[in-house]
Amino acid sequence: MTLAFPAGPLRLSTRFRFKRAGVASIGLAMLAFAIGSAGWVVSDVPDIVAERATWADGVDGSHVRVTGETRSRGLFAWVIAHHELGLVFDDLDGETHTARVAFWTMMGRVSADLPAQIRFRPDEPGAVALSWARDAHGARTRAVLVLTCLFSGVALVSIWLIWDSLAGQTPESRAAKRRVETWAPLVSDKAVERDGEGTAERLATVLLAGGRAHSFRYPAKNPPFSVESKLLFVGHPDDALPFPVLEDGYPFSTAPRIEARFRLC
């Protein structure tokens, strides 16, 4: 049987390389977001420790006024919320001071209906402990743990995306080095519609070895396949599912031989 591609390694097309570079860029953006967000959340840990020490050793402030906002509303505020509160209070000499407290809570609420109490260090009035934040200790701890795990998971997915895109571990990259060609009979080929209107894609369904039906989308600008055709699929011998090769040879830079692009059943 005539092979569609010459023996030996193939080069991946520029279009495919740009596509993988785009995926890697998305992975880098996700990684930067995850690291920054995790650092922001974890920064609440030293604040919790410092506030506990201030509450134990500090002195009471008077005439406490609390301003600011909670960035969640309704039921969702109980699930997760970020609080940014501005504090105004007087010390023992009647001098007025201001401070800021920011923290996350999860599965819990701030007791804003109770009178706010403040303790601070006389030598550092900006170091304060707010009773509302202290009473929400459990909800704050949950928020730190869960959000840190969540953003760590996003970071791991991002690293995998970057590695998969740049380390040549995609099915196409493996098949470019060593491949098996398969001819699959076409079952159907139709235009993809969305809201009753045509799109720039078509949907083809083929029958792979073992009677497995496999569908894939391809650009509508590619000539439609004939229902009497067999389509060329290529894959690495160790991969369970091969991928289709379009008329221009994508994802490879070499187009298949003219006589092997389509084959009648």
Write down the pLDDT at residue 149. Answer: 94
> Which pLDDT does position 156 carry in this prediction?
95
- pTM of the predicted model, to two decimals? 0.68
CA distance 188 to 206: 7
pLDDT at position 93 is: 85
Q: Domain-by-domain residue ranges, the chain?
A: 12-169, 170-264
pLDDT of the residue at 257: 73
Gyration radius of the chain over CA positions: 31
What are the structure tokens assigned to 164, written together?
């998969």
Q: Which of 66, 121, 62 is nearest to 95 (CA)?
A: 62
- Predicted confidence at residue 264, as pLDDT, reads 46
- pLDDT, residue 73, reads 55
Q: Which two tokens stand for residue 67?
A: 């301003």
Contact 98, 86 (CB under 8 A): yes
Tell me the average confidence (pLDDT) per consecutive run of 10 residues in the chain, 265 residues long: 77 88 92 92 89 90 83 66 89 88 86 86 84 90 92 94 80 86 86 86 86 84 75 82 80 74 50
Is 150 in contact with 191 (CB distance < 8 Å)?
Answer: no
